[in-house]
Amino acid sequence: MRVNPTGGFQTVEQLFAFHRDFLGRIRSLPGVEGAATVNQLPLTGSGNSGSFTVEGEPLVGGETNPEVNIRTVSRDYFRVLGVPLLTGREIDARDDINTPPVVLVNQTLAESYFPDRGPLGRRIVFSFFAGQPAWEIVGVVGDERLEGPDQPITPVVYFPYRQTPDTAFSVVARTRVPPLSLSGAVRAEAAALDPDLPIYDISTMNLIAANSTAVFLRRYVLLLVGGFAAVALLLATVGLYGVMSQSVVERTREIGVRVALGANRGDIVRMVVRQGMAPALGGLLAGIVVALATLRFMGSLLYEVQPHDPGVLAGVSAILATVALASCWLPALRATRVDPIVSLRAE
């Protein structure tokens, strides 16, 4: 949810008290496992950005200050959103305006700008905090996708809320119950704290992810291609079934002769299925060859699935082979019911 307090805070301590009390009320609700704040939620845009320099390491000629995304988070943010702490420590109660400034960075930033001896203990200076002390990196956390699941992961710096406060923020809560079922209780707690406190954009991270632009576009393409694939599979199934059924009808006399000469039901089923599966398997093999030949063109349509994924190719091949087998099996069963006397008398 998004929160934008309307009350005028005369001092930063009043803002901190409101922030602490509001989170405390949410954490005390039944079913809530944790709550925290962030200036901008993941999957809602890149947000603010800024450049920094590493203290004691001047830029070499031609180099520019690294540009990174910026997030302001409260204690427990990473635990609530399930972002793992890789090394160092998280933000805790000691990080406030009266203590030396600290930041956390994501894994991408650590690997990009501190590949040799790591970022812990390094001090960085931000251009938008001119005249302020350098910020010490005290922890590295896993990567979040800020703009979309198919967008490249960008370097991120996380500031403690109690060292860079802002009146407007988003609240995130992890619950043991359906999250939206607590919206009424949250509004009641907010009204008890401040009757004029506006709370809006209440949602779940699942809904935010599903409604993000990148996911919507991917889903649209998925539904479009999946729809065409389903129609193609249906047409192929009906076509193969029709061909095999017609073949059984045309070979009624032959099947009757075979039965009269001692062929059993298994022999007839194998004959019909073999006749239908031979071209089907040939087509399946040709499809695999074409798929392997067009891998590089399919890469742009896929997300976190390799075009040459053997599991996908094997799964799709198994589905198509099963459909083809079913299309041949039904006419084969019908062929076993041919009465040799009737078929031999037929023209």
pLDDT, tens digit (0-9, with 9 covering 90-100), for 146-181: 887 777 888 999 999 999 888 789 999 999 999 999
Say whether pLDDT at 309 is over 80.
Answer: no
Lowest mean pLDDT of 115-129, 252-266, 274-288, name the range. 252-266
Say whether pLDDT at 263 is over 80.
Answer: no
pTM above 0.75, yes or no: no
Share of the chain above pLDDT 70, in %: 91
What are the structure tokens assigned to 38, written together?
């962030």
Mean pLDDT of 223-246: 86
Using pLDDT thresholds of 50, 70 and 90, give the confidence band for residue 59.
low
What are the structure tokens assigned to 347, written together?
């023209």
- Cα separation, 308 vs 136, in Å, equals 44
Q: What is the mean pLDDT of the chain?
A: 84
- Predicted confidence at residue 301, as pLDDT, reads 66
- Cα separation, 252 vs 257, in Å, equals 9
- Predicted confidence at residue 58, as pLDDT, reads 67
Using pLDDT thresholds of 50, 70 and 90, give the confidence band for residue 91.
very high
Lowest mean pLDDT of 30-39, 103-112, 198-207, 248-257, name the range. 248-257
